[in-house]
A and B are shown apart, each in its own frame.
Chain A
Amino acid sequence: MSVKITLNKTPMDYAVNRPPIWCPGCGDYGILEALKRALAGLGIPNEEVVVVSGIGCSSQLPHFLKTYGIHGIHGRAIPIATGVKIANPRLKVIVVGGDGDGYGIGLNHMIHAARRNVGITYIVSNNQVYGLTTGQMSPTTLRGVKTKTTPYGSIDEPVNPLALALAAGATFVARGFSGDVAHLTQIIAQALSHRGFALVDVLSPCVTFNKVNTYEWFRARVYKLEEAGHDPSDYWQAYKKAVEWPSLDPNGRIPIGVFYKNEEKPTYEEEIIKILGVPPIEAGVAVNGKAVYGILQY
């Protein structure tokens, strides 16, 4: 008889000695804390977690976690994560980044990862401004907001990431608020448990460069979908909720929580395993030369 002892994980198990370099009060602290709590709650071994990011303030996040990860180039975290997940589907692959990184320069990758249903969790720290480059308009800046590059007020219609993800075929679409870490933790935990592509858009105030969309601004507007009787299995209801803000009313109330969830659709990596037989990482490097020779006969 063998006895298996499992120690419960705590958020500290995912921490490193390096303090985050974000401004005091930055929404990214809330995302980091919620992510650590969610990982601990699910008890995922550190070595099986790969956190991939692009460039921006929030893309520094992997450096504050004791996991594997790649802090890559601007906007390309999703394709990197896709490669990791296909190569070794056993890994828990998480992408973090900002709205500029993910909804601007890298937006197409989100659409394609969503339609492929790659099993990665994509957490976007959406602060509606470019922070690391000191305060320019971002793809989610609301119309009329003044930034360094929109001194007369933004004339660009903001991107609606949730509606886009739903249209692209994402199988898990959610929005959290970094001012409510407990709620965000629970959303991220659900996303990490989802087998396909999961988008978690996080309203995450930039305390230095965005003086419009502050914690107070959001607190006055957010409400929880689960408390409003929302059914996340209903695609069309999810879509209606997704366009509530900012598409229909940029000053209206803002739903947070899980908008949509579909566990039925097979993931991209599962489809690949169906073709290959085994995941690439398990196929090894040795190749039977005779078999290769065989297919070259004509």
Chain B
Amino acid sequence: MKIDSLNVELTIRISGAQGEGVETTGRTLATVFAKLGYHVFAYRQYGSIIKGNPAMFYQIRISDRKIYSHGRWRTYDVLIALNDTALAQHRGGAKYVVSEKEIPLTDIAAKHGNKIMKNTAALGALAALLNLNPKYVAEQLTKEFGEGKVAEANIAVLEDAWRAALAKYSPIADVERVGEPRLLMSGAEALGVGAVMAGMKFYAAYPMTPASPMLHWLAQWGPKFGVAVVQPEDEIAAINMAIGAAYAGVRAATGTSGGGFDLMHEAFGLAAMIETPVVVFLAQRGGPSTGLPTETEQSDLLMALSPAHGEYPHAVIAPRHIEEGLYAAAKAFNIAEKYQVPVIVLTDLYFNESLNTVEFDPGRFKIERGELLNAPVLWEEYKRYKITENGISPRAIPGTPGGMHIATSDEHDEKGDVITDTHRPEIRKAMHRKRMVKLEKIAEEMDPPDLRGGGEVVAAAWGSTSMPLMDIGGNGVGLALFRDIYPLPDGGWKAALNGAKEVVVVEVNYRGQFADYLASKGVKVSRKVLKWWGEPFSIDELAEWL
């Protein structure tokens, strides 16, 4: 990579009003870099409003090595400011600025028909500043707008602004193609791709930020791979539909954020009680209540550990970076079907809505459906909830002759018959134990944390907070990054953590939920580094606070 004076990295922040094209500009630019073979990460900060909010921003980080996060928060190489408020608010952190003050972006756009295209003008100016051939941007614009008048006008704006900026700026870099195009996707898309690859055939979800992008992606692409996608009347219907589809024998899931998941708890317990595999993609945002609808948080951990009333087996998997989202989704379906339990894939807004270049290897997906009966059985002998050593009973799906049974939310016997008309402690003991024993077996399939680097200080984190930590790993700070959250596996990881001088738990919530969870499992937590105001951790902050 040839970016002079910037070593091997470049961070660009684009700021403007919502509705001014910040997001489309950001996504276009991120795509251009990914196509040129760079590793890219893009993060968006925005508000719960469709048009307005003058200084939302999109931050794009480009590197020649694999990166997992948006990088720094306080400083960036280039600021593109699309209005005065954005300029005033963000110029302090920037080394170089592209704005109306340097280049008449609005006039150039207006000259070609519409001042709304000033964001495209900004891309032209940026191309000059980075010595990036504007044809790469033009190609992407044509792809996005389709050939025709809109694309032509935008390209004219792009080229005019580029020429104007050539006279104004000395290039700070020299951006060329460095390799084969890379796949760029959001966390939500990674989950969608993973679910499709896992053979999911039913997805029902009610719109809610930041879970909706996964629903949008699946609505568009799912049907090409046989996935029925339903937008039901509410989250209660969503999870119950998924349970029905799973009972009927297809891999099924739902997705939501905290408030929607609140509504699903009762049915989550039902899935566990009737031993029906279902996957819930839970994308957190700032809570409680409506909270921070468009800002990130990791505050639903405690809820994910025990959503429904009563005791039951389930699992929680929190992918640590976007690429891992592909494979974590597939693991969730396997655990769900093998153990006939509900499984939560726990992410957050930062994970779901950020874009990252990823390696996608279709060969890494393995489908394990567990004990599914395909051949007819003898009804008189078949016990849907047969007590077994590992708690797993062969599952007959409707249509299988002889497999008829009623899956009931009441406590039941091995056959599935309700036993609650009288007090039957022996059956209750046996059946409750049969379900709960599955937790021990699931724990054996859960991976220990990813332990990296040495150092007297070990930073422990879960889910998306791993992203910035992975980018600073190896600087004298050890890392313990957890994906498989519940049930936690046994193994040497606890001893390794307790051997460190200091264990610092880093997470995006106020209470230190994961820190307390680890402490309850015997980890000596020395310190908590917490952030709960709607931002992910950034590498400049972490370097300071660790």
Contact = CB atoms under 8 A, between A and B. Distances in A.
Contact of A84 (B185, B196, B223, B245): B245
Given A87-B245, A287-B225, A47 B197 contact: no
A63 B417 contact: yes
A281 interface: yes
A296 B194 CA distance: 12
Contacts of B251: 285
Contacts of A51: 406
Nearest to B384: A68
A9 interface: no
29 contacts: A69-B407, A70-B407, A72-B240, A72-B270, A72-B274, A76-B236, A79-B241, A80-B241, A82-B232, A82-B244, A83-B247, A87-B249, A91-B248, A112-B233, A272-B228, A276-B228, A278-B226, A280-B201, A280-B227, A281-B248, A283-B250, A284-B226, A285-B369, A286-B199, A287-B196, A290-B362, A291-B225, A298-B31, A298-B184
Contacts of B172: none
A50 B396 CA distance: 13
6 closest Cβ contacts across the A-B interface?
A289-B362, A83-B244, A285-B199, A283-B226, A79-B240, A83-B241
Contacts of A80: 240-241, 243-244, 247
Interface residues of B, number: 68
A292 B362 contact: yes
A150 interface: no
A280 B274 CA distance: 22
B244 A81 contact: yes
Q: Secondary structure at chain B's binding surface: helix, strand, loop or mixed?
A: mixed
A51 B244 CA distance: 11
A46 B249 contact: no
A220 interface: no
Interface in B385-418: 398-410, 417-418
B201 A47 contact: no
Interface string A73-97: 1001011111111111011000000
A108 to B, nearest CB: 6
A283 B201 contact: yes
B178 to A, nearest CB: 18
Contacts of B221: 295
Interface of A: 18, 21, 45-48, 50-52, 55, 60, 62-63, 65-73, 76, 78-88, 90-91, 108-109, 111-112, 272, 275-278, 280-281, 283-293, 295-296, 298
A47 B199 contact: no
B280 to A, nearest CB: 14
B264 to A, nearest CB: 11
A48 B367 CA distance: 27
B147 to A, nearest CB: 16
Contacts of A283: 201, 225-226, 250
B401 A47 contact: yes
Interface in B420-445: 421
Contacts of B365: 287, 289
Contacts of A68: 398, 403-406
Interface string B242-269: 1111111111100000000000001100
A280 B250 contact: yes
B248 A88 contact: yes
A85 B362 CA distance: 31
Nearest to B222: A276
B129 interface: no
B237 A109 contact: yes
A76 B274 CA distance: 15
Contact of A70 (B201, B247, B418): B247
A289 B198 CA distance: 10
B202 interface: yes
Contact of A108 (B234, B241, B244): B234
A273 to B, nearest CB: 9
B193 A87 contact: no
Contact of A86 (B184, B223, B230, B406): B230
A291 B408 CA distance: 39
B312 to A, nearest CB: 13
